[in-house]
Amino acid sequence: MKILVLNGPNLNMLGIREPGIYGRSTFADLLALIERTAKEENLDIEQYQSNHEGHLVDKIQWAYGKIDGIVINPAAYTHTSVAILDALKAVSIPAVEVHISDVDAREPFRQISYAGMACVHTIKGHGFEGYREAILYLKEHYGP
């Protein structure tokens, strides 16, 4: 099974600031956790991070016909991007939305998710572990 893990803007800065919200672990730690999960679960996982909305849309389109499941943390674009929502709908690949923090317990503007409207499941507030849970969810529900 092939899974694409997508991370949006500023997530590459994890561990550098705001440890109270996102923890002290770095983006490299997150990539390593996902790599480890791929090996343990015998999955083919590709990872991609971009600070640019259009690049994330390009990557979702690229996945069409090649990828069986998407894990996506669109970061701030969660709350603004109809383009990412439309791309997820266009490719129709099962996608799980992940947020490191509990967005429901934060500012009201974080409680709207456009991308989430095209996702089969959402995991929020479980820290980095949420990505592992999302991968396992896709494997269990859409694996061979």
Q: What are phi and psi of 15, to 5 degrees?
A: 90, -10
Nearer residue to ligand CA2 within complex by CB, 68 or 113: 113
- Pick the stretch among 33-41, 81-89, 96-104, 132-140 that binds ligand CA2 (CB under 6 A): 96-104
Q: Applying CB under 6 A, does 112 fall inside the site for ligand CA2?
A: no
Total residues at interface with ligand CA2 (CB under 6 A): 17
126 tagged catalytic: no
Q: Applying CB under 6 A, does 45 fall inside the site for ligand CA2?
A: no
99 tagged catalytic: yes
Amino acid at position 49, single letter: Q
| 126, 96, 45, 100 alpha-carbon torsion, rounded to 10° | -30
39: exposed, middle or buried (Cβ count in 10 Å: 0-12, 13-18, 19+): exposed
Residue of 93, 105, 106, 101 whose CA lies nearest to 130: 101
Q: Residues interacting with ligand CA2, by CB under 6 A?
A: 10-11, 13-14, 16-18, 22, 73, 75-76, 78, 99-101, 103, 110
Instruction: Show which residues are catalytic.
Output: 22, 99
